[in-house]
Amino acid sequence: MSAFFEAVGNVAFAAQILRVATPILLAALGATIASQAGCLNMGLEGIMLFAALTGVYVSSMTQNASWGAWAGLLAALAVGALLGALLAYLVLHLKTDATLAGVAINVIGSNATVFLMYVWTGSPGTSASQKSYVLPTVSIPVIRDIPVVGTVFSGQNVVTYMAFALVAALAFFLYRTPLGLRIRGVGLNPGAADSVGINVVGVKYLAYVLSGVLAAMGGAFMSMGYVSWFARDMTAGRGFIALAAQAMGRSTPVGSMLSSIFFGFTMALSNSMQSLSIPFELIEAMPYACTILALSAYAYQQTRKKKQSSGG
């Protein structure tokens, strides 16, 4: 037990939470904007994988240590936007079931990325044989010198800072701008939005594209944040955990952030506990078990609330 507290109680663990939460948070923000417009983006996982591979590939192709990683990130975001648009086309024009379309993108993402990586590197496991670049970490002056706080909040990857800044940006966008109001209007009552001349399909397209871009940033972080390679299925279900985080966060940016941090905590915990003598598989399963528990608790509370309001 003391080993457990040693693993959890130190400052590095807190820093790790933010790092691990980053890709979940970005994908959860993607799920949030889609959900605010009344859309379901089930394809987050697949989009993250495509983005992760694209980022590594483009950054490797540049052969440039100073801006190669940035080029990779931009390319990843562009791929995310395209996949978001593809999903929107499938759902809004071809009237495919949103869940099935998303699952299709996930399955394609899981397999096509391996195929493309194999074509590129000759290896079906990782792209580590090809030199690629990582996005920089940021050391914040003043804060880095404060004990504890400095260790946690300074020296994180630039994408981590971007992710948390995007929480505020997205909240601002949704609640303070005309377009944000239209997105919420479309999500809450498309008929009402339509009756005042809002292009409902256009707004939903936009939401899917932005959702794809946010998920792609999370994917790029996976392959270019701390490592400089792509590995098959490296997102390991984070796209689905992000959906859980969005649902638990009631589709609000801040709520999604809080639940992403919670999931980050459970994943960081499972990382730290691998040094303990608990079976590896059990620890690996922990974040996912926590997802189920958290979702059940949330659903229980929601149904009880519904019962109370309808009973009274």
Partner 1 sequence: MEEILRVEHLTKVYENGILANDNVSISVNRGEIHAICGENGAGKSTLMKVLFGLEQPEQGDIFVKGEPVRIQSPSAAIKLGIGMVHQHFMLVDRLTVAENVVLGNEPRRGILIDREAACRVTEELGRKYNLEVDPTALVADISVGLKQRVEIIKALLRGAEILILDEPTAVLTSQETRELFEELRHLRDAGHTILFISHKLDEVKALCNRVTIMRGGRTLGTYELEGLSKSDISRMMVGRDVVLKIEKEPASPGAVELSVRGVEYWSELGKKMIDGVSFDVRRGEILCIAGVEGNGQRELVELITGLRSGGAGSAKLRGTELLGRPIRAARKLGMAHIPSDRMVYGVASSQSVKFNILAGKVEDARYTGKLLFRDRAIDRDMEALARAYTVKCTSADQTVGMLSGGNIQKVVVAREMSQEATLLVADQPTRGIDVGAAEFIRRRIVEMRDAGVAILLITADLNEALELSDSIVILHGGKVVAYFADTRALTEEEMGYYMLGVKSQTPEEVEGAVHAS
Residues that bind partner 1 (CB under 8 A): 176-178, 181-182, 184-185, 188-189, 191-198
Contact 28, 259 (CB under 8 A): yes
The least CB distance from residue 203 to partner 1, in Å, is 11
- Choose between 37 and 273: whose C-beta lies nearer to partner 1: 37
What is the closest distance, in whole angstroms, from the C-beta atom of residue 63 to partner 1 in the complex?
Answer: 39
Helix-strand-coil percent breakdown of the chain, rounded to 5?
Answer: 75, 0, 20
- Nearer of residues 194 and 284 to partner 1, judged by Cβ: 194
Q: How far apart are the first and last CA of the chain?
A: 47
| Number of Cβ within a 10 Å radius of residue 87 | 30
Minimum Å gap between C-beta 114 and partner 1 is 38
Determine the longest span between alpha carbons in the chain, in angstroms: 66
d(CA 48, CA 101): 15
Do residues 219 and 242 make contact, with C-beta atoms less than 8 angstroms apart? no
Q: What number of other Cβ atoms are within 10 A of residue 231's Cβ? A: 21
DSSP-assigned letters across all residues of 69-123: HHHHHHHHHHHHHHHHHHHHIIIIIS---HHHHHHHHHHHHHHHHHHHHHHHHS-
User: Closer to partner 1 at the Cβ: 64 or 189?
Assistant: 189
Q: Dig out the tokens for 236 from the structure.
A: 């390991």
CB 251 to partner 1: min, Å: 11
* Between 21 and 206, CB nearer to partner 1: 206
CB 48 within 8 A of CB 23: yes
> Measured from the CB atom, is 185 or 218 closer to partner 1?
185
Residue reference for tokens 């929601």: 302
Nearest residue (CB) to partner 1, 172 versus 300: 172
Q: Please list, in sequence order, all residues whose beta carbon lies within 8 angstroms of the beta carbon of residue 124, skipping any fewer than 6 positions away.
A: 114, 117, 118, 232
> Which C-beta is closer to partner 1: that of 72 or that of 187?
187
Residue number with CB closer to partner 1 (141 or 191): 191
Which amino acid belongs to residue 168? A
Shortest Cβ 234–partner 1 spacing (Å): 37
State in angstroms the smallest separation of the CB of 213 from partner 1.
Answer: 19
**In residues, how long is the chain?**
312
Closest CB 91 distance from partner 1, rounded Å: 22
Provide, rounded to whole angstroms, the least separation between the CB of residue 205 and partner 1: 17
